[in-house]
Amino acid sequence: MNWQDNIPLIAILRGITPEETFAHVSALVEEGFTAVEIPLNSPDWRQSITDMVKTFGDKILVGAGTVLRTTEVEELAAIGSRLIVTPNTDRTVIRRAAEHGMTICAGCATATEAFTALEAGAHTLKIFPSSVFGPAYIKALKSVLPPQIPVFAVGGITPDNLADYLNAGCAGAGLGSDLYRAGQPAEQTREQARKFIRVYRDAVK
């Protein structure tokens, strides 16, 4: 499955607990999401990711965010995580994830960091924090990047501004607090998911 051929939006479930994961991820999958990231600063992330890999791993891309160390990559590979999202550009982390055949979305902010990530084996670039840089910056940065490399906007993306980043050339986006906040009910996650998917589909018509 090439998840980017479907809805190239990554659901970032920062702060979710193992008890909550099934309800929220079920809602996201039912609404059309095909990639879910559980950041490693979430409570008991090992259990959450393990459970979601077992339940949804054959349907969607399940993985981890805020991955900072190669030891974390090894542990994630062992439990079946297929997606690695980093907040920074760390060659050793990216290379180790590439060796395991994982999909890598590497955090970067400048052209130097972007090319460093690509050289190390990243498949996708995550411009973070996108709301600080804005769509014009990303459009300018994309002009020097290989055109086939997907660029994702992450950080401050809302249903109101998602289309601006897509129009600037982003392939998709990572969606955090405007999609999911720790403790919110699953139906709220579903409602926000619908808003984001509606905007995405309207923008790419």
Active site residues: 37, 126
Alpha-carbon span 75 to 192, nearest angstrom: 31
Cis peptide before 129 (omega within 30 of 0): yes
Cα distances (Å, whole numbers) of residue 138 to 35, 165, 169:
22, 8, 8
Cβ 87 vs Cβ 128: under 8 Å: yes
For 139-200, give the DSSP string: HHHHTTS-TTS-EEEESS--TTTHHHHHHTT-SEEEE-TTT--TT--HHHHHHHHHHHHHHH
**β-strand pairing of 172-175 with 9-12:** parallel
Cβ 84 vs Cβ 74: under 8 Å: no
